[in-house]
A = this chain, B = another copy of it.
Amino acid sequence: MLVVLTGGTGGAKLVQGLSLEINPEDLVIVCNTGDDFVLHGLQISPDLDTITYTLAGIGDAERGWGIKDDTFAALEMLGRYGGETWFKLGDRDLATHITRSRLLREGVSLSEITDRIRRVLGVKATIIPMSDDRVETRLVTAAGEISFQEYFVKRHWKDEVKEVSFAGAERSQPAPGVLDAIRRAEAVIVCPSNPVTSIAPILAVPGIRKVLQATQSPVVAISPIVQRLALSGPAHRLMAAAGHEASAAGVAKAYADFLDTIIIAPEDKDLKERIEAMGVETVVSSIRMDSLDDKRRVAREVLASLK
């Protein structure tokens, strides 16, 4: 059994590759919920949904979010009523948020809801939110303190970020099964997700970092940064804002206390020595995942690194 720590889009690519290279029932995916937010009175969990839709084969791989061929009739009408339309909620996607919101109000936990949804959609891998408690990634910018979705989707990551924090993290608990899965895992894979806003929120939930440090099984990460740029999104900018070097070496350093191996791009092979000096092994391999073939190839590379 493998445990995968992931955010949304970037992580979904590797998760999809892994699910095709091994028995998906052997995957336990621990997913970031720091980007969860409420819109139109509905509870939205963008990363959980992206991972679930991707593994269900209904995700829109091109956009990296939502359900493919979804329609936007409800959103247009919500806009007429004065509702926010910057977060593109499709009609089918909306059913997920309506169902999640109803069940949460009925007292069902987010992890139980996540499990029901993935089963209905035929996903064989286990998907667990990092916590059933509310942990919210907050970004301090010149425009004030904003949520990740406001920064990322609404404001197109144009603000300079001065500080990143995870409101509620100290009082949160890992969702049922998270710690145990990491303890029992044959290996832990840290996806090429944003280290600051996708992986750090997971690590901020008390107990998770500790079991990662303690496990005897290999922990391998895939760098989301090639040279000084994120493969997608604003990871390089947020790395700098959070006080890390915006490079594969910075990623390795951020995870060095629990990481055994990091897979870095050929363009970054000059970082090998610096990373290995931190006690982290390196594998140099192409880590871009544009096609499904790429995703499977990187997944095989990750699996090979565990041998």
Complex Cα distance A117/B82, Å?
A: 10
Complex Cα distance A24/B77, Å?
A: 24
B117 and A95 within 8 A (CB): no
| A147 at the B interface (CB under 8 A) | no
* Residue in B81, B95, B121 whose CB lies within 8 Å of A78: B95
Residues from chain B with a CB closer than 8 A to the CB of A184 are none
Residues from chain B with a CB closer than 8 A to the CB of A78 are 95, 98-99
| A120 at the B interface (CB under 8 A) | yes
A70, A75, A77 — which one has the most chain B CB atoms within 10 A of its CB? A77
Complex Cα distance A105/B38, Å?
A: 13
**Size category of the binding interface on chain A:** 20 to 34
| Contact string against B for A residues 88-125, beta-carbon threshold 8 Å, 1 for contact and 0 otherwise | 00111011101101100110000000001100110000
| A23 at the B interface (CB under 8 A) | no
Residues from chain B with a CB closer than 8 A to the CB of A70 are 73
Residues from chain B with a CB closer than 8 A to the CB of A102 are 40-41
How many copies, total? 2
> Closest B-chain residue to A40, C-beta based?
B98
A117 to chain B, nearest CB (A): 7
| A80 at the B interface (CB under 8 A) | yes
A117 and B81 within 8 A (CB): yes
B81 and A95 within 8 A (CB): yes
A4 to chain B, nearest CB (A): 25
A41 and B98 within 8 A (CB): yes
Residues from chain B with a CB closer than 8 A to the CB of A42 are 98
Report if A94-B94 is in contact (Cβ < 8 Å); known contacts: A40-B102, A70-B73, A80-B120: yes
Chain A residues at the B interface, C-beta cutoff of 8 Å: 40-42, 70-71, 73-78, 80-83, 90-92, 94-96, 98-99, 101-102, 105-106, 116-117, 120-121
Known: A71-B73, A81-B116. 19 other contacts (CB 8 A): A40-B98, A40-B102, A41-B101, A41-B102, A71-B71, A73-B73, A73-B91, A73-B92, A74-B74, A74-B95, A75-B95, A77-B96, A78-B98, A78-B99, A81-B99, A83-B95, A83-B99, A91-B91, A94-B94
A-B contact pairs, 20 of them (CB 8 A): A40-B102, A41-B98, A41-B102, A42-B98, A70-B73, A73-B91, A73-B92, A73-B95, A74-B91, A74-B92, A76-B92, A78-B98, A78-B99, A80-B121, A81-B96, A81-B116, A82-B120, A83-B98, A91-B91, A94-B98
